[in-house]
Each structure stands twice: as structure tokens, then as C-alpha cells.
Structure 1
């Protein structure tokens, strides 16, 4: 058996040494980080009265926060640790039970830089509270059960308002108090009563950490109704929903959508609580049109509300044509466009006309049509391209000279 060259033996020994070092390397060298810290009260004070802490680590994923890891700590436990983290943007969410803290505290966002460990302490926010009284429309104590919800305005939530705390009132109860609310946000109270009353809302208000807003008076509402007409182009296909807006602290807040069906000219909306309203509708490429503002009292019916929209949604049309002449014939490739209108919405009929006679007709699909004419005498002739128009595009005509072979 032949002996191996000394250089080859040395190279194999070096490779084995490197492999051994890589295998024995610590876990953080693989590109992960660890974050740990302590949960405290405001200003770093020790926690008081907390029974459990649920700690979530969330990672930013294209402007959305996704849960990455979580841990639950019992009474007296305040230290947490998360490991195996890659490079990214994170935040800590702490849900606290017990004490006078907000039920949920969000930390500032922070970056991890593996394999460097990170220490990140989180101070709980002082909770806010709101209290008051619920009455019937006549001022008496409600005779039906009522759920009182404290809702926070949240732009990241699809419904905009998120319930942060609630209290169930039995029939014959009127006083409520909701505590441990996350603060530094706008709130409203939502009342969910049994029949015959409808869901209703308070005016908006702001809560700061540690605040207690007291003396809030809320009244149940019987269902109110509004009806009226929609003035405009009844053929507009973009008007199948009516939007209901309610005034809160000087701002119009969306309340609900009401499906109207195709080509509506009249509407009726029922089951509304008392308040200041306006109605809106999308017409002509999702442009918004609104009614005048109106007041609804508990159980009231408002009629004759009008929403005025354009008589026609058709926009100015531009015609372009490419002509391929042949022997006693020609092919017209026509493009139809309208200002601000998607090509997919442009349809209708287009014609080739000469001396008042229609020589060819074609259907416009996604703004395009092809027309052919035949049996034409040789020479240069003038033809008219005539577009008849559609819901979104006005009628248009274009003259074009063609040399027939």
C-alpha cells in the first residue's frame, strides 16, 4: 500500500480540527440572539398586587406585528427571557392581572443584532378607569340587562374600535366602573342592551395613564329610522352600499354599511341609535357623495334625506386608431380611453362609417376593438370612427384618412 504524501495528511488534519471547532461552537454563534429583562411598575417601581403576567414577544412583519414567543409568570415573578431570535424588529406586550396597572402594556420597538444578547426591561403603564350611570330614555333605571364596553380607537384594527374592558349590568342596575384600561388613547362607551333597545355609543373621550373619568351619563336608545332618495345616474354600478357616519367629538366616524342592491334610487336604514348622522355613497369610480347632516332622537323616524350624485359618470373619451390598408380593404385597431377610468371598465360599441353608411361594427372589450371593411374602391378616403359611449365613457367620433390599394 502506497504511503500518502505528507502535504495531504497535514491538510486532512487541519480540516478535522476546523470541523471540531465548528461543532463545539456555542449556540449563539449560529446567528441567534437572546433577550431578557424585568417587568416593573411605572418608573421602575416594584409590582404590587399582580397575580399573573403574560408576556408576548412580537415581531414586525411588513407593518403587522406577529406573535413570536410568549411566557406566563406567576405572582412574585418578574424576570423573563426569550432565545433563538434572528435579526429583526420586535416589541414586548405585557398583559397584567391584578394591581392598578393597564391590562395591556406595549413596549417601544427594538432591534435584535445576533448573536449579541439584549437586556430590555418593561415598565407597566398605570391603568385608567371610567365610571358612570346608564339610564333608560326617560331617565329611569334600565329594566333590561346592559353590557357596557370601553372601546379604544385603533387605526391598525380592521374595525377601528377595540373593546378593552366591559361590565355586565343586570336588569335594575345602572352604575358601572371599568378599570385597568390602557391609556394615551381615544375611547368611547358602547352599550349593548337587550330588546327593545339598540346598540348605542357615547361621545368620544381621552384617557391618560392613571386617570379616572367619573360621572359619565349614558342613555339607552330605541331604534331610529332614516329614509330618502339617491339622485343621480341609476345605471352607475359602483353604488351598491350606503355608508352610515355618526358624529363623535367633531369627527365623522363610520358606523356601518347598508347593502342597497344594484342601481338603487331609494333607501331606508333602521335600528340606529340617537345621534348626529350623515349618509354617504360611492359613485363614479369610488368618489364619495354625502347627504346633509341630520339629528336622530331615540325612536325617531327621519324621512326625505337626499344624496345627490352626478347625473352621469361618463368621462371625456379619446379615440386612437391604427389602420392596416389592403387591396380594396382595411383593418382598424381602435383604442378607447376615458379620463380616470380603468381600461377594464370601458365597453360599448364602435362603428366605421362613411357617407352616413355603417360599414363595420365591433364590441369594445377592455378599451379595445378591431374592425374590418372590404369591397372598397382604390384611393384615399375619409372614414369616421364612431364610439357610442357607455356608463363610464362619453360618445366620441374621430375622422381618419385611409389610402385603399
Structure 2
């Protein structure tokens, strides 16, 4: 990000709109998994409002899914509703979810946690809106000015509920810092205690932006602790108690950050097969990082970077059936007091299930018929498709289409006698290829 000192920022309406839309989109439509066409189950109920709140407000009912790491991540199955009305949410995958209703920056319900399994309809998951609580204060700067920041990287204030928040995990609320340094955070239920984080907006993954996605921030992130410059980490921050209502005067002074020099980028080790554990190698930096924050993303295998969505955190990731057929990559962000690090991505790997190939041969007079069966753990037969070919002495004789894990290959004009045939299964984006050889006596 570029930074100028003593200049004035060109706050175009387009840039401000993009920032605000980005904040809302992170809450509304952050997807989990690359493909979510199917429906595992549904959650439904009513939406009501506490006395004193508008009785006819438009409501957004959102849903978060629990990751194996314990984090909750927003999924793209939210729906619009009205106070006094009902909602119904179709959910693509079985798992543990929590549902919440919000009138943004005004009111919200507590979470309702439900388990969803295939074909189950969870009814009576009713939600009641309660007033949000607000946190307000002022951000001062030292060594730079708010006007001198790159318009693509304005200052934000977030209410965090976990020590390693992502753009899509457990950030209770986020707001822009105004030109005069003031801010107001509207914190939804059920959060009675949060840590306030002051940080620069990361460059989004958007080709229209002039900044570089994943680059280190100019401004040093800080957390409110009642001191002038704040605390360097979530663990050292002072919790803000909202159980008694809104709070004010949560002020801080921000400074410029020193940036890491990247020596090597992160990478993934391990074989990306169903049930396997992958490990993130963090890369190396100067100076050395004291810790590294890891985020795992799944996305399209055909168009890399398309629909990438957070599916795990931590240094290791276990390949589950949810990501089979997807591309996988890990982002690693180095952490050290006084420094801001880049959020670099590894190369992509492709998650597949390991196939097993069985072949039966029925010889005939100058001919043979091969019955091919392909299986893969936790993969529906509809996803087992591709090509099967028969070879002899390295020469391909015939290729057929495999559908539903089955195919029959008939060959003719074969020489009499015993010979070795090799059947090769092509595999596909979800399943590995396989080969099997067998001896057949042609009559």
C-alpha cells in the first residue's frame, strides 16, 4: 500500500461504497466450500422483536457453520425476512450451525445452535431481535495522517471475539474510522464481551483495486487496553464489557508498522487425499516471526482463485469429503510485536479421493469383454465418471466412458493365445486415476 504524508485523500464515492459493500458482504455472503447446490437439511422458524423495536423491519437471517478448528464461519445460505414473519434456510452440508437475525447496525437476536443432517427439517428455531450495544471512541495518529492513507486501505475498528479472526470468522462488528478520527461500532447479540481491534483494511482480492492482495499493512494493528498506544495482541487487550449497555471513550493512538521481508513463501506438504492430514510450511521471514496465523481455503479446481472460501485454521488441515474435488491453498501471516506481515498464499493442491479399480475379463473367440468397476471412499457413484481404456503391449485398443462407476469394454480381432491387458481409469477432479493388469487367454 502506498502512503503519503501531509496530503489529502481523494475520497471518491466509488471507493467509499466499495469499502462499505465489502464489510457487509463479508458478513452476508462469505461462502464455505466451492459448490453448494445440494441440500442436506433445512432450518426454519419465526422472527419477532422486543418491545420498542420497529414491528415491520426488514431482517436478514444469517447462518454460520462450525469448523473442525472450533471457529464459526459465515456461509452463503442467509435469507431475508420480516419482523413478525417466518424464515426458512436450506443448508448444503450436514454439520453444526448457528442461526441469527439482524437489522444491521440496529438490532440482532441471540444465536440458536442446531445440528443438521441429511433430509432433516429443523423447525421452531425462533429468533427474537434485541437492541444492539455500541462502542464509540476516537483514533489519533502519530507519524502519519488519516488523509494520507491510500484510499484502498482506510482505518477500521473491529469487535473481535477470538484471537485469530479472519475476514469471515467471528468478527462481531466492523466500522470505518471517520475523517475526524471518530468511530461507532454497533455490536450485535449475543456478545457481552469483545476486544476492540484498530487496523487498516487489507487489500481485497479484487482486480479493480490498485493495491496488491496479501501485502503487508502500513499501519500497526493495536487493541484497546486503556493506554495511549493500545496492546499488540488479542491476549493482551482489555475486554470491553457490554452487559450493561453501550460504552464510550475507547480511544487509541496508532503508529506506522515495520514490515517483514519475505525470504520464502508458504507451501503445503502431504498428499491431498480424503482423510489425509496436510501441513502448512510457513515460509521464512526477516526478522523471524514469533508466530504465524494460518488460514486454509477451498475453491474451484477448474478456475483457481474462484470462490475461494475459508475451511480451516491452524497449521494442519484434514481433507474431508466436503472439499473433495476442490482446490486447496493455505495463507500464512507472520506475527511479531511492532511488525505487520504479508498474508501470502501457497501454491494450490487438489483434493481427491483415492480410487479402487476392479476388472473382470470374459474371453471369447478372438475377442474379450472387460467389466470395469470404480469405487472411491465417501464419493457418491454419480461423481464417479471418466474414461476407461484397454491397452496391450503399450498400445491403446479402445476407450469407453465410465458412468456411475461402471463401464464395459468389448474388444475384437484379437490374436489367439494368452496375453496381458492393462485397464487404465482416467480419474477426474474428485478421484485419482488407477491402473490394473490381468492375463487373458483368447480362444
Structure-2-length-normalised TM-score: 0.42
**Higher relative strand content:** 1
RCO higher in 1 or 2 (8 Å CA, sep ≥ 6)? 2
